[in-house]
Amino acid sequence: MPPRSPLAPAEFPALPVIGGARFAIAEAGVRYKGRPDVMLAMLDPGSVMAGVFTRSATRSANVLDCQAKIAADSSEGAAIVVNSGNSNAFTGRAGEGSVEAICEAVAEQTGLPASRVFTSSTGVIGERLPHDRITAKLEELTGKLDGASLPDAARAIMTTDTFPKAATAQIEVDGKPVKIAGIAKGSGMIAPDMATMLVYIFTDAKIGRAELQAMVSELNAKTFNNITVDSDTSTSDTLLMAATGASGVDVAWNAEFTQALYGVMLDLAHQVVRDGEGATKFVTVHVNHAASEADARTHALSIANSPLVKTALAGEDPNWGRIVMAVGKSGAAADRDALSISFGELLVAEKGWVAESYREADGAAYFKRSEIEIIVDIGLGQGHATVWTCDLTHGYIQINADYRS
């Protein structure tokens, strides 16, 4: 096991109980022994669900099943079952069979229709999911459902994560509290043979399904879709959000709720980067004044995914020439003489060359920080984008190459 990431938050947050949502975990032994590897979340009748999923063309049977179910309006409640250790991806027709078997067993155990059971699997690709080990634990799981067990769930869904990830927020609407609590796993887009970023967020707010979905999709584009550890996209990425309505507070069109949810999602997204495989630097890349929003994102991802930029960060080498290179190769519009580059407040390059005021020693001192901001102004338009990433270190190679799966 790699040690806890040096970029991990100081402590795990105190998660509130979300009315209408209960959780349980179990040791099913899917792949790991002697640790919890399955979680069950039960959402009360009246809960609405929203989700976003990987766009991989080889996505897992679980993702395809969730996508088919997520848009249904239902007042019957819902269940979420997640296992770690095996991703059930690229397992042919057997993969669909495993998802069906789990959903039917949960339906039988809980009385929910199978169409309201959502599943995720994370771990090795291409190996048959021993789903009977999961279904064998359903009675135990439903017997110990508890609103206070969300922190346990954050641990049960870990694969090679070095710390459990959670975030929470609370707002008041007309004097009534509305709570949000979310958990995530992910350590790079993928870990040694184990895939996936998974995110589950719960609120007791009351909101329509279509509105919740629109809000989650929009906020996802500003948070989870703008993080990258190694540019490799999992076959299983899943974000599910449930609003139970237990607070009785309607949050449709409530800007404060949107902002609170954004904060929770951003916090979880950052925690995934902070647990990036081998990461020693947390890096924010801002691209401003690109010709378009799309161009800004293309430049930002080109910088964030460049192995040479990432190794320069690892080496604490303020090698801004590599940032010029990454902008140049991205395919989006750029003009050497309009470009400027800053590290935080430190202006590094402008007007097609190194800035007159820049001193290499200042750049080197800045790069010793564990949190680094790279700001690139393209100088061509109004497109802005922010992307978060980490450095590329010997630790990444060690985790992904040195140990046989």
Residues 13-42 that bind a copy of itself (CB under 8 A): none
Nearer to a copy of itself, 245 or 278 (CB): 278
Q: How far is the CB of 1 from a copy of itself (least distance, A)?
A: 18
Q: Are 228 and 305 in contact (CB under 8 A)?
A: yes
Q: Are 194 and 160 in contact (CB under 8 A)?
A: yes
SS3 label, residue 103 = helix
Nearer to a copy of itself, 113 or 126 (CB): 126
Residues 37-56 that bind a copy of itself (CB under 8 A): 56
| Conformational region of residue 40, where left means phi above 0, alpha means psi within -120 to 50, and beta covers everything else | beta
Nearer to a copy of itself, 150 or 194 (CB): 194
Annotate each residue in 52-91 with x if it binds a copy of itself (CB under 8 A) or - if it does not, as one string.
Answer: ----xxxx-----------------------------xxx
Nearer to a copy of itself, 231 or 386 (CB): 231
Q: Are 185 and 165 in contact (CB under 8 A)?
A: yes
Binding site, by residue number, is 159, 185, 196, 277, 400, 405
| Number of residues binding to a copy of itself, judged by CB under 8 A | 71
Q: Does 306 bind a copy of itself (CB under 8 A)?
A: yes
Among the residue ranges 12-20, 136-144, 147-155, 334-342, the one whose residues contact a copy of itself (CB under 8 A): 334-342
Q: How far is the CB of 390 from a copy of itself (least distance, A)?
A: 12
For the annotated catalytic residues, the residue numbers are 196
Annotate each residue in 118-157 with x if it binds a copy of itself (CB under 8 A) or - if it does not, as one string.
Answer: ------xxx-------------------------------
Nearer to a copy of itself, 73 or 337 (CB): 337
Q: Does 2 bind a copy of itself (CB under 8 A)?
A: no
Annotate each residue in 192-231 with x if it binds a copy of itself (CB under 8 A) or - if it does not, as one string.
Answer: -x-x----------------------------------xx
Q: Does 369 bind a copy of itself (CB under 8 A)?
A: no
Strand partners, 86: 124
Among the residue ranges 28-36, 77-85, 106-114, 318-326, the one whose residues contact a copy of itself (CB under 8 A): 318-326
Spell out a b/e string for 210-221, using b for 16 or more CB atoms within 10 Å of the CB, else e. ebbbebbeebbe
Residues 241-300 that bind a copy of itself (CB under 8 A): none
Nearer to a copy of itself, 155 or 310 (CB): 310
SS (H, E, C) 132-192: HHHHCCHHHHHHCCECCCHHHHHHHCCCCCCCCEEEEEEEEECCEEEEEEEEEECCCCEEC
Q: How far is the CB of 356 from a copy of itself (least distance, A)?
A: 11
Residues 6+ apart with CB under 8 A from 209: 48, 49, 50, 71, 73
Binding site for substrate, by residue number, is 159, 185, 196, 277, 400, 405
- Would you give the DSSP letter of residue 265? H
Q: How far is the CB of 340 from a copy of itself (least distance, A)?
A: 12
Burial of residue 2 (CB within 10 Å: 0-12, 13-18, 19+) is middle
Q: What are phi and psi of 326, to 5 degrees?
A: -65, -35
- Interatomic CA distance for residues 290 and 287, integer angstroms: 7
CA gyration radius, the chain: 22
CB count in 10 Å sphere of residue 67: 15
Annotate each residue in 101-120 with x if it binds a copy of itself (CB under 8 A) or - if it does not, as one string.
Answer: --------------------
Q: Are 199 and 41 in contact (CB under 8 A)?
A: no
- Interatomic CA distance for residues 340 and 318, integer angstroms: 15
Residues 346-365 that bind a copy of itself (CB under 8 A): 349, 351-354, 364
SS3 label, residue 217 = helix
